[in-house]
Amino acid sequence: MIDKRNVLDKGFVELLAVMGNDMTVVNAARVSYLSESKGDVADKKLINYLMRHRHTSPLEQVEFQWRVKCPLFVRSQWHRHRTWSYNEISRRYTSENIEFYLPSIGSWRFQSPKNRQSSISPMGRNLDDMVFSLELDKFNNMCYTYYKLLLDRGVAREQARMVLPQSLYTIFYAKVDLHNLLHFIGLRSNEHAQWEIQQYSNAMLEMIEPIVPWTVEAWRDCNNGYKTSSGI
């Protein structure tokens, strides 16, 4: 089972494998009583009870494996979630497939005057916004040209990579259980998270909801009808 969603201009999030579903959560919880499913109504009620009282260890029995392509600055935020397992492309080993994230014209945002880590409304399609995109594209190409020059002159990949900017796309595999995935989504789909990582988080929620619909519904209910920044 593979489900893939394109994100940003060149990125994606791909669901490679799933172990478990809502019934996995139910049976993991009921094993305490040497019992299993008692029918849809009772099982759905149990999942709601688990979520409401934060008895979330049964959710850890469901796991998801992902393949992600995102800019380095998104990767850095993602890897702060240390409950995930990661394996990432290494620019010590390969210099192939160098690509850069370029925000579309109209998507540059103002710095928030109240929150030093956040942005606010887009600048809009004005002249400055267009210049930013053009200049960033020029800068990315300049960095790539210098990177190739260093490699051509025999500089080791592990040193040459230092000239590549934070807009560089990286690819990694990631594995996470359902409990920690919902924690990630709760933080990264929030309107206070950076817009770029919100797009990955929103896509992941859309992808898992058909697999664990009862659990996602209970999670939303216990988070006051939680909706992502995009209204999902």
Q: Which ranges constitute the DSSP H helices of 70-225? A: 72-78, 127-152, 157-160, 178-188, 195-208, 213-222
Backbone angles phi, psi at 82, to 5 degrees: -80, 0
Closest CA to 144 of 23, 68, 136: 136
Radius of gyration of the chain from its Cα atoms, rounded to whole angstroms? 21
Query: 13: part of which helix (H) or strand (E)?
Result: strand 11-19
Backbone angles phi, psi at 5, to 5 degrees: -125, 130
Closest CA to 67 of 203, 167, 213: 203
**Catalytic position from the list 75, 91, 161, 188:** 188
Joined tokens for residue 140: 């990315």
Residue 168: strand pairing partners = 100
- Beta-carbon contacts of 87 under 8 Å, excluding residues fewer than 6 positions away, are 172, 173
Q: What is the largest CA-CA distance in the chain?
A: 68
Closest CA to 222 of 48, 62, 26: 48
Joined tokens for residue 144: 């790539």
Any catalytic annotation for residue 91?
Answer: no
Where in the sequence numbering do the catalytic residues fall? Answer: 188
